[in-house]
Structure 1
Amino acid sequence: MRQDEIWDAETAERYDTPGRGVFAPEVVGPAVERLAALADGGRALEFAIGTGRIAVPLAERGVPVTGIELSEPMLAKLRQRAAIPVVAGDMATARAEGRFSLVYLVYNTISNLLTQDEQVACFRNAARHLDPGGRFVIELGVPELRRLPPGQDALVFHAEDGYVGVDTYDPVRQHLVSHHFTFGAGRQARVSRCPQRYIWPAELDLMGRLAGFGLESRHADWTGGEFTTESSSHVSVYRLP
């Protein structure tokens, strides 16, 4: 599936869950505070800005925010919420006007680029937008291959009333597909899928070096928790000389 097929009008319409899930204040708040500090008084550019989950409160925090977004339906939802300048296009190639002190990419979105070359191009595109000394911040999950027993290629990553999430892995191509099943009291379920190319932290660091970045910091979350072998995700900050 192409990204424009995944992030269609139906997905955009039900993407926002105000006050719940990834839209909960305890999720959004720490991310916004950390990004505001990393912007250090300068302008910020969000790759794959979506409906503005992070960009809108960051702009309200006083940081000038611009976005790049491939999905027109997601962009339409953002425009209903706030007057944030956005360039329609692919985060690996699209250009926004001006220079920035911060480029950021949250919630695993770099993995929506399905080849290593595209992911490296995303780093290089971030570098093109940044002032000297500027930062590129990526929030990304750690592949859970240690949980896969021999002969099994699927993992349930979340289950609750009305929802089951399953990841299927293809280690040869370094791909996974997240399957989201939502259902009510009836027999029918709604299924959506999101293909991704997962990235190990060390591989991500090499991508950064190819684009001229050095790793400034890596934490387990937006609050600065220690990144360990048990961490399920990380927030990595790359910086230009």
Structure 2
Amino acid sequence: MAITIQEGPVMETATLVVPTKATVHEKLHWPQGVHPEIEKLDEYVQETILSILSSSGNENRLRSTRACNFALFGASWWPFASYDALRICTCPFIWLFVWDDETDSLEFSTISDDWNRASTFRQRTVDYLRESLSGASQMSLSEITTDPLIAGFKPVAEAISRACNDRTIPSLFSNPSTFLAARLCTSGYTCIDHAVNIIRSSIERFEAAEKQLLERSSSTPKIREDLGKFIDGCKYACISNLNWR
């Protein structure tokens, strides 16, 4: 795909060739697929989005979010999962994307330009997640917040609680994620070059690690088989992200 950019005080023009999805697929040769129950998943996705956003009163936001095709996202991340597992695994991503829009979307957020409200929103989110994963009662959770944008995490917490034990759940909060943003791009050239280099180096590191892990487990067929399945699962997830966006 070619695009034309203009930059500099004299508005010089240049044409850049941006790698397409097809080009990346051809070079990767990584597996991809779509779960056969994607339509059923989409019904669940639409209901979940409606339950989170119906009280916002923002029809444009609701319509835009429902058009994001989260069903394709989940169905291509986990194309071979049981339907229940597929639904449970997709749910956190629906909630996360909707929640993230509330914190930084200039189009939809009601708090992005109010530091105090945004800080309160984030703190209530942390408190709610911690308590819901600890098995707190609905009454206790309601005392933290009833905001659907935060409380929409409750089905996720219930699913995680069923799948994890008391020892592993606390580890989810032992090393909270840090989100960093860096302004690395000074022009159209450097921005695209940087993105392409990130993809290229990530693929190289991934495939080098894959080779190393499979070689190390060559004497234990069962472990090698399980590792192969896990690695393929990671590849499905990467290609899923590429196809979805």
TM-score normalised by structure 2 residue count: 0.23
Higher relative contact order (CA 8 A, sep 6+): 2
TM-score, length basis structure 1: 0.24
